[in-house]
Structure 1
Amino acid sequence: MTRLILLPGWGLGRAALEPLAGALRERGLDVGLAGLPALDESDPEAWLAELDARLPQGAWLGGWSLGGMLATALAARRGEGCRGLLTLASNARFVAGADWPHAMPPDIFAVFRNGCAQDSVAILKRFALLCCQGCTEARSLSRQLNQGIPAEETAQRLAGLEVLAALDNRAALVAFAGLQLHLLAEADALVPVAAAEPLQALLSRGVVERVAGTGHAFVLERPQALAARLAAFIREAGDD
């Protein structure tokens, strides 16, 4: 049975991925939901080392948003030790720069970072609303996301934001020789769908696809449809 490890997005915990994990298990996959590192430090290498030591070798890696970015970096780190890579609403860089404009503007990210330092609970509620923007049932999805927020110290949440800002996976996407599937939501308010073409240009054995009519929280809104696509991709890779 194919083993797949999924990592959640920043601050919102594993609960948001439970429906997707269940739908994937219905399709015969052995899915594990792994938490993000419980670290106060913001060095991405420390986060990757913690994940590398904790997560099983030889599995497919995947994740949502920050989780997908960490899975990408870990896949490149493991090389042949990773069977394949699946990401959901994940960018090569979360914060835009002159050489990667298809991301969140730095001034908007700074508002989140400063707001988290002042009141991390309030900023997470705002973040959940943005995750659901573009989804059909935005309000009910936002309530679901808020119900699953794990208890964390502000320092840990800030560290996660700093890692989100620091990760630059362009080299990792180029370096990982395994199969990759990256799904982006067309109405995503956090990861612009305009990143699809530049992401595709980085991949040698990967596919970037757009999911219409939904936003960043499509993992919660469309678990069955996403599970069908992910499972099909794994089957097409001959790894079922």
Structure 2
Amino acid sequence: MRDRLILLSGWAFGPAALQPLCDALAEQAPHLAVDVFPLPSEPEPDTWLEVLEAQLPEHSWLAGWSLGGMLAAQLAARRGERCRGLITVASNPVFRANDSWPAAMPADVFDTFFEAFRLDAEETLKRFCVLTSRGGYDARTLARQLQVTLAEQSPAALGAGLQLLARLDVRAALADFRGPQLHLFAERDALVPIAAAEALVDVVPDAEVAVLDGAGHGLPLERADDVAATLLAFLREGEDG
């Protein structure tokens, strides 16, 4: 098995949101080095990929949750053979729906959320925690746990992340990356529709696409053991191959 896995957090959340997954991976695979990185805090979205390129070790597996998965896909395509493989968790190649990718958050819903964030960032982040927890076993408890893991980022940096969610399209990056890929979706995700999993098969037919039953967008925190088991099974397949 490859010996290093990099985890990128999702929009608005700090590394603490991925700590349960990191702990589960350490318990199930003690020999695997796992590093959790926050998303960049720069207010200019065009600089984020360069920041990650400079920060993240090469020749490791790249994994990311939601926006973190989209950025990991871009970086994997850029690095090519300098990336062992790519794993995304609850991550849509296109987050804001358009005519060529309807399996995403409706554009008007996203735009309304973005405007609400501009008007009242604190209240909108609370709502985002609720949306992230929806579909889980205990959504109320999960929402409180997520609230604690929110990143200490400026509104400008958070706004930059929303801009990336609005405009990123990583389908070409996924198709260009020749390494092994796993894309894990959540059956009850309120932010990434399950239809994206089926649509993704047409983009990367050789990739492994899986769905975790009974899970919502907050699966790395609430279903850490299950996510870890899925990721490790994929890594073992890569080693055997």
Amino acid at match of 1:42: P
Query: 1:6-17 maps to which residues of 2 (within 5 A)?
Result: 6-17=7-18
Residues 42, 157 of structure 2: 8 Å contact kept: yes
Is structure 2 residue 38 aligned with structure 1 residue 35?
yes
Q: C-alpha displacement at 1:150, in angstroms? A: 2.1
Q: C-alpha displacement at 1:204, in angstroms? A: 4.5
Residue 165 of structure 1 is matched in structure 2 by: 166
Residue 237 of structure 1 is matched in structure 2 by: 238
> What is the CA–CA distance in structure 2 between the aligned matches of 1:148 and 1:196, rounded to whole Å?
27
> What is the CA–CA distance in structure 1 between the aligned matches of 2:215 and 2:96, rounded to whole Å?
21
Secondary structure of the residue aligned to 1:23 is helix
Residue 186 of structure 2 is matched in structure 1 by: 185
Residues 174, 204 of structure 1: 8 Å contact kept: no
Residue 89 of structure 1 is matched in structure 2 by: 90
Amino acid at match of 1:171: A
Q: C-alpha displacement at 1:102, in angstroms? A: 0.2
Unaligned runs of 5+ in 2: none
CA deviations on 1:8-56 (whole Å, 9 max, x unpaired) are: 010011111000011111213210001111110122xx21111001100
> What is the CA–CA distance in structure 2 between the aligned matches of 1:202 and 1:36, rounded to whole Å?
26
Q: C-alpha displacement at 1:120, in angstroms? A: 1.2
Query: 1:124-135 maps to which residues of 2 (within 5 A)?
Result: 124-135=125-136
Residue 107 of structure 1 is matched in structure 2 by: 108
TM-score (norm 1): 0.96
Amino acid at match of 2:44: E
RMSD: 1.3
> What is the CA–CA distance in structure 2 between the aligned matches of 1:114 and 1:239, rounded to whole Å?
48
> What is the CA–CA distance in structure 1 between the aligned matches of 2:240 and 2:42, rounded to whole Å?
33
Residues 134, 215 of structure 1: 8 Å contact kept: yes
Secondary structure of the residue aligned to 1:238 is helix
CA deviations on 1:103-155 (whole Å, 9 max, x unpaired) are: 00111111111111111111111011001111111000000000111222111
| Aligned length, in residue pairs | 238
Residue 51 of structure 1 is matched in structure 2 by: 52
Query: 1:59-74 maps to which residues of 2 (within 5 A)?
Result: 59-74=60-75
> What is the CA–CA distance in structure 2 between the aligned matches of 1:200 and 1:223, rounded to whole Å?
25
